[in-house]
Homo-oligomer: A and B are copies of this chain.
Amino acid sequence: MARRKGLMSLGAFLYPSGHHIAAWRHPDSKADAGIDFRHYVALAQAAEAAKFDLIFLADGVGTRGDNVEFLSRTAHSYQAQFEPITLLSALAAVTARIGLVGTASTSFNEPYHVARKFASLDHISGGRAGWNLVTTSNEHEARNFNRDEHFAHADRYQRAEEFANVVTGLWDSWEDDAFLRDKASGRYFDPAKRHVLRHKGEHFSVLGPLNVSRPPQGHPVVVQAGSSEAGKELAARSGEAVFTAQQTLEEAVAFYADLKGRLPRYGRSPDDLKVLPGVFPVVGHSEREAKEKFEQLQSLIDPVVGLALVAGLTGGFDLSGYPLDGPIPELPATNASKSRQRLVLDLARRENLTIRQLYQRVAGARGHWQLVGTPEQIVDQLEERFLNYGADGFNVMSPVLPGGLTDFIALVLPELRRRGLFRSEYTGVTLREHLGLTRPEHPAVKGKHAGVAAA
C-alpha cells in the first residue's frame, strides 16, 4: 500500500487549567482558569496562530456526583466554568479562522434551541461552528431537568438520533439563496425557498422553520463522541467527526475500519467522517524531562480524587473500600457509558494494575491515549497511527494549560511539519474546509440536480 497522503487534522481540546486531574494545583497553571476569559482568548489565539483545525469544549449540565469531599478537591467535573456556547461565541469575536466546536447534550435540550444556537454561532463566526452531539448518562444532570434518573442507554440513543434529524432538518429550513432582500420590490425572501419541517416523531414535535437563515457551512459540523455500538451507528448515520479513545494501534485501526465501513450503508463515503482520537501529550526536550514533568503532575493527585475519578469512568463503581495497592475487583455491568468502562478495565487487566496504579494511569488522560516523551517520540506515535489509518487527526488534550499547548506548538508541531504531516497555513476559511468535509447541498437543490441528471 502506498504511503498515506494528505495532512492530519488537529483539535485543541481546552479544559480550564488542563486535562490532568491535578492540573489546577500545578505551579504554572491558573487555578481560576474556568472563569478567566482572557485565559481562553490567549489559548484560542495561540491555537489559531499554530493553524489548528479547531478548538473543542466538552460539557456537563451539572456537577457530577454528590461526593462533596471529592468535588471540593477537584477543578474538574464542570463545577465552576464557562458554558460552552457562550464561551465559543465570545471567542468567535476574537479569532478569524479556527473552528469552534462545543458540546451540547441531546438528553436535556430542545432541538430547536440547539439548531438555532449553533446556526447563529456559524453566522457570527463566518462558518466555523461545530456541534459535539452527546447523550448524558449522569443522573445528577438529569435531576437538574425535572427527571429523577437519566434515560436508559438505548432510549438515549433513539432520542439522540431523532434529535439530530430534527436539528439538521431545521438547518435546511431555508435554501441558501432564499433571502432576496430586494429593497425595490419589497420581497425579503422567496416563499418557494422556505421549507417548514413539520416534524412529528416519538420524542419531538417541531414545526419550524428555524428563524436563522441557512448557516454558512450549510450545516455546522456534527461531531460525536460515543464509541458504543449505538454510538458508532449514530456516528455512521450523522457524524462528520468522531472524538474517540483508543489505547493501542490495533484498537485504533480496528475502530477506524469498523466506523468507516459502516458509512456506505447510509449512502456516505468514508471521507465524510473524520476520526480524531484524543491524545494526552507530555512533551520534553529530553525523555527524562518529559517523565519528570509527568511525575510532578502525578504527585499532585489526591487519593480521594483519584478513586472518585475511577468511579466516574466505570459507571459509579466505588473502589474506596478496597486496598489501594491491591487488584481491581470484578465490576457489574452498568447503564453508564459502556465503551468507556470497557476501555478502562481492559487497560487495568492488560497491565495488571493495582487500584492506585489505575487511578494514576487514568487520572491524567481519563482513558485517553497518553504519550510522554520527546517531540520525535511523540510524532513517531502520531505518524504511525495516522499512516496506518488509525486516525485522521487528533484532539490534543494538554495536561496543563496554557503550558501544555504552548509546548506542543513549540516542540511537536515543527516536527510534524518537517515530516509533511501538518499544515503551515490555512488553505480554507470554514471548519468544513479545514477538515476536508464537503458542504451539504440543500435537499431541495440536490433534488433538482437529481431531476436534471435523470432527465
Contact = CB atoms under 8 A, between A and B. Distances in A.
Interface string A75-89: 100111111011101
Interface in A65-112: 68-69, 71-75, 78-83, 85-87, 89-94, 108-110, 112
A410 interface: no
A321 interface: no
Contacts of A190: 72
Nearest to A304: B186
Interface string A139-150: 010011111000
A87 B212 CA distance: 13
A41 B211 contact: no
Nearest to A40: B124
A322 interface: no
Interface stretch (A23-31, A330-338, A396-404, A437-445): A23-31
Interface stretch (A1-9, A199-207, A341-349): A199-207
A419 interface: no
A285 interface: no
A78 to B, nearest CB: 5
State the copy count for this chain. Answer: 2
Contacts of A186: 25, 73, 300, 302, 305
Contact of A191 (B34, B68, B144, B300): B68
A310 to B, nearest CB: 18
Nearest to A32: B181
A117 interface: yes
Interface stretch (A56-64, A234-242, A373-381): A56-64
Contacts of A436: none
Nearest to A139: B207
Contacts of A109: 113
B146 A204 contact: yes
A300 B185 CA distance: 10
A194 B80 CA distance: 11
Nearest to A64: B211
Given A94-B94, A207-B143, A212 B72 contact: no
A179 interface: yes
Interface string A24-53: 111100011011010001000000000000
A120 B212 contact: no
B82 A212 contact: yes
A86 B211 contact: no
Given A61-B116, A68-B191, 18 more contacts: A27-B183, A34-B213, A37-B124, A37-B126, A62-B207, A71-B191, A72-B191, A78-B211, A79-B188, A79-B189, A80-B211, A82-B120, A83-B212, A85-B85, A86-B117, A86-B124, A87-B89, A143-B206
30 contacts: A31-B181, A31-B183, A32-B181, A34-B213, A37-B93, A60-B211, A71-B191, A72-B187, A72-B194, A73-B187, A75-B188, A78-B211, A79-B188, A82-B124, A82-B212, A83-B116, A86-B86, A86-B89, A86-B120, A87-B120, A89-B89, A93-B93, A108-B110, A109-B113, A140-B207, A143-B206, A143-B207, A145-B206, A146-B206, A147-B205
The 4 closest A-B pairs by CB, nearest first: A89-B89, A31-B181, A143-B207, A83-B120
